[in-house]
């Protein structure tokens, strides 16, 4: 009896100390979300401006840039998966990886060969454990991604995409390097603190995503100038084609950066939720355990009393016999 009481007390102590760890993690994740959300917000003016510039350019330049043209017969496809470096984030990584598997199955059905590019240690471990080939991995920045990380990823992907331009059935084509014909990205979109959804997007060939606000603005402008019906004639320095060459890779990088930031915010939100329920569970467990411990202690006391009473009774009856 006494043994079980001691064991219960030990379990209570260890549950309480794990609970402390969980709630500390929860607080850290909470602080990180705020910072991550601020970074998402801060990066928006740039992506809005670059989209605006690109739309202006699209109106004036001939759009036959390789990053904009559909390839006739896409065979190899790059898939960039954004996962976290650390665990303790609930279903965050599982969801992204499941979405990726869906995309991969879809691409294979279309007769394309998907190649994996993985961000985050968790994704890397997942694919390595399953002996799946990865083209490239990046780790160490999933919680606080910087623009230079996005640049590095962007460079790799765009290089692969450019190399894929002249590939044919037999091999790497003129430059003898096997590249890819499409770029896809899978990341977790941060909708709100409570909802983060894994999404898969195609990055290249590009579809310039017009910001809603921008479209409204343009509609307003069109209304203003419907009689003249001309877009403002831009001057270009250097030529529009050269500008497009310089701008498009930056646009892709901006999209990757935005995805990394969203994923970081989602990761922290997921982690906070997971840690909150973990610490709630730990508290519940500690409460149940201390109930059992109290019961055991009470049983021990009752037993001691009945032993004493029993002993006293025995003494009394022994004396009475004398």
Residues in contact with other proteins by CB under 8 A are 39, 42-43, 45-46, 49-50, 52-53, 56-57, 147, 151, 232-238, 240, 242-243, 246-247, 250, 254, 257
Q: Could you tell me the smallest distance in angstroms from the CB atom of residue 22 to other proteins?
A: 32
110/216 with CB nearer other proteins: 216
Cross-strand partners of 182: 77
- Per-residue tokens: 207: 């579809």
260/286 with CB nearer other proteins: 260
Q: Could you tell me the smallest distance in angstroms from the CB atom of residue 6 to other proteins?
A: 56
111/232 with CB nearer other proteins: 232
47/95 with CB nearer other proteins: 47
Q: Could you tell me the smallest distance in angstroms from the CB atom of residue 261 to other proteins?
A: 10
46/88 with CB nearer other proteins: 46
User: What gap in Å lies between CA 92 and CA 273, rounded to an integer?
Assistant: 10
Q: By three-state DSSP, how is residue 311 classified?
A: helix
User: What gap in Å lies between CA 82 and CA 100, rounded to an integer?
Assistant: 10
Residue 80: DSSP 8-state: E
- Per-residue tokens: 127: 């694919």
| Residue 240: alpha-carbon gap to chain centroid | 36
**Residue carrying the six token digits 């765009």:** 158
Q: Could you tell me the smallest distance in angstroms from the CB atom of residue 234 to other proteins?
A: 5
Q: How far is CA 279 from CA 93, 192, 289, in A?
A: 20, 22, 15
Nearest to 126 by CA among 93, 90, 171, 175: 93
């Amino acid at each position: 009896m006494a043994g079980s009481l001691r064991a219960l007390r030990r379990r209570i102590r260890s549950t309480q100390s794990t609970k402390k760890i969980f709630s500390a993690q929860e607080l850290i994740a909470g602080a990180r979300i705020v910072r991550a959300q601020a970074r998402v917000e801060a990066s928006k003016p740039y992506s809005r401006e670059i989209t605006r510039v690109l739309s202006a350019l699209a109106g004036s330049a001939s759009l036959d840039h390789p990053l904009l043209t559909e390839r006739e017969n896409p065979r190899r496809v790059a898939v960039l998966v954004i996962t976290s470096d650390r665990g303790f984030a609930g279903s965050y990584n599982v969801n992204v990886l499941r979405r990726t598997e869906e995309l991969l199955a879809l691409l294979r059905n279309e007769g394309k060969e998907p190649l994996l590019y993985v961000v985050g240690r968790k994704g890397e471990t997942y694919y390595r454990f399953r002996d799946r080939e990865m083209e490239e991995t990046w780790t160490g920045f999933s919680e606080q991604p910087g623009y230079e990380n996005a640049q590095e990823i962007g460079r790799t992907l765009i290089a692969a995409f450019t190399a894929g331009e002249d590939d044919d059935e037999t091999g790497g084509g003129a430059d003898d390097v096997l590249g890819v014909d499409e770029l896809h990205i899978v990341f977790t979109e941060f909708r709100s603190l409570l909802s983060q959804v894994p999404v898969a997007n195609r990055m290249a060939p590009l579809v310039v995503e017009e910001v809603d606000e921008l479209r409204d603005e343009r509609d307003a402008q069109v209304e203003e100038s419907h009689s003249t019906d001309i877009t403002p004639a831009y001057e270009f320095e250097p030529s529009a084609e050269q500008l497009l060459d310089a701008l498009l890779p930056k646009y892709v990088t901006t999209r990757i950066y935005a995805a990394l930031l969203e994923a970081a915010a989602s990761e922290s939100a997921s982690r906070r939720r997971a840690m909150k329920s973990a610490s709630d569970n730990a508290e519940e467990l500690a409460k149940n355990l201390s109930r059992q411990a109290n019961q055991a202690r009470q049983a021990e006391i009752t037993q001691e009393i009945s032993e004493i009473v029993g002993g006293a009774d025995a003494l009394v009856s022994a004396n009475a016999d004398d």
